[in-house]
Amino acid sequence: MSHNPLRLLLDFDDRIQRDRDQAPAFLHRRDRRFALDCQQRGQSPDAALWLEQMERLSGPGNARQAGRAVQQRWRRINGGFAAAGAVFGVLTMAGLLFYDGGQRINVTVIIAFVLLQLLLALATTVQSLAGWQPWSWLQRRLQAQPPGTTLAQLQPALMARAAHTGGSLFALTGLLTLLVMLVVQDLAFGWSTTLNTAAQSYHSLIHAIANPWSWLWPAAEPSRELVEATRFFRASPGSTGTDPVQWGQWWPFVVMLWLTWVLLPRLLLLALSQWLLARKAERLLQRHPGMQALMYRMETPTLDTGNQHNDADDLPDTRTRARPGQLQDSQYIICWAGAGEPELPQALLAQDSRVLKAGGRASLAEDDGVLESLAEQLAGERAPSVVLVTRSWEPPTGELHDFLEQARARWPDGTTLTILPLAPDANREPAEHLVQPWLRFTERLPAGFANVALLPALPDNPYHTGSTA
């Protein structure tokens, strides 16, 4: 199990989401047993060791690594930003150093551009610290499905890291392009501005900018004489009174300007963004509600009452407050994980019914397509409703819970969902003990969003043995 804070947090959150469908008593016994085993080995139980234990219990091939999938997706995003930054760095520096032999390359323009890059780098870090998401439109395009609650809190830091990665490659390739053009071309630098600025004032600005490296490379700080001699004007672009050698003496300043105020800040802010991301992931893991519940289960002894035995005199009450409701008419029917095969009951179908399939062997992309299609069609409904057909003998899964969470986020407000568990014989009602898990499942969903219903009893149905609630 990787100890990378981001991956550890995402794997832990995914495991906690899957455990929501398990009985509390089972979770307590499992995690208490893990804590006792760690105590015998002299280890302090933590999230990484707990996840390793969960992987062993899941068996080979059944472990899900949500953190690795997210990391791989963001590596591709970072790679895209890096490639774009590298290309734009070459093009931008080539544009700044364009020289046709007549007009000088204006150092003032380069200074202004460097200042712009520094402000953009600082703004990227500030938005990450403040939790702003100016990249939200781009995130929706780069991610196939909306992020969960935990991942959404990390999005500003992740996007800041991607932006600094692109900015670092932009600065690096820009510096390399500058060095190459200094070798292959005879560049002539000068300075000019429309404002009435004296050479002394401009030299003071240059001195302040070059102060960080003046002790290391004195030649990279232009002298007052060089500043006075290399100012050019529109009326005399040639400046024939200036020694031609002086036009090229600006290049050490330009190189150190780019290195000190563009490349180094980007690299430092990239390292800072990586540290902030890891620190935020560690803090979210410590404050995760599932972590608090896990620590409680590991520290609290379990109490076996014996009620799990079938011959006990006093069995625990597993009934729920919810009861199956009436089946609402709906044009849209979702068959979950192969439910309703080979065919749906005729009492459920109408002439305008539209049957969709999701879950089970369907891919995530196909599930997403079902959600998008229904979102478009339900938008025009006055009272939108959907029927979800399931197999009563298969308990609700975390995959179905995630599917319904995405459905609630995408479908219009007020959409109602009716879960219809079918018995092996679709003409019969499912047994009560098979319906109870589905009733408990709807209780964990947001209030008013979903309810359980059974097929109505038909007068000519010879197999009907009971009445619906």
Residue pLDDT, tens place only, 178-202: 999 999 888 888 888 776 667 888 8
CB 464 within 8 Å of CB 458: yes
How confident is residue 330, by pLDDT bands cut at 50, 70 and 90?
Answer: confident
Whether pLDDT at 9 is above 80: yes
Q: Which ranges in 211-350 belong to alpha helices (H)?
A: 224-229, 244-247, 251-258, 264-286, 289-299
CB 118 within 8 Å of CB 206: no
Token couple for 173: 């390739």
Token couple for 443: 């209780």
Whether pLDDT at 460 is above 60: no
Q: Which of 389, 302, 319 shows the shortest CA–CA distance to 354?
A: 389
**Residue 207 to residues 109, 222, 264, Cα–Cα distance (Å):** 17, 8, 19
Helix H or strand E encompassing 89: helix 66-96
Whether pLDDT at 304 is above 60: no
What mean pLDDT value characterizes the chain? 82
Per-position b or e across 363-373, b if 16+ CB within 10 A of its CB? eeeebbebbee
DSSP state of 377: H
DSSP state of 423: P
CB 409 within 8 Å of CB 152: no
**Residue 233 to residues 190, 230, 356, Cα–Cα distance (Å):** 10, 10, 73
pLDDT score for 358? 87
CB 425 within 8 Å of CB 342: no
In single-letter form, the type of residue at position 184 comes to V
CA angle 67, 72, 73 (to 5 degrees): 100
Sign of the CA dihedral running 362, 363, 364, 370: negative
More confident residue, 141 or 341: 341
pLDDT tens per residue, range 59-116 = 665 556 777 888 888 899 899 999 999 999 999 999 999 876 667 888 999 999 999 9
CA distance 276 to 153: 13
How confident is residue 311, by pLDDT bands cut at 50, 70 and 90?
Answer: very low
pLDDT score for 469? 33
Q: How many CB atoms lie within 10 A of CB 103?
A: 15
When mean pLDDT is compared across 88-102, 199-213, 314-328, the lowest value belongs to 314-328
Whether pLDDT at 355 is above 80: yes
CA distance 11 to 148: 12
Q: How many CB atoms lie within 10 A of CB 309?
A: 9
pTM value? 0.61
- Residue whose entry in the numeric block shows the structure tokens 């439910």: 339
pLDDT score for 81? 94
Instruction: Sort 404 into a burial class: Cβ within 10 Å, 0-12 / 13-18 / 19+.
Output: buried
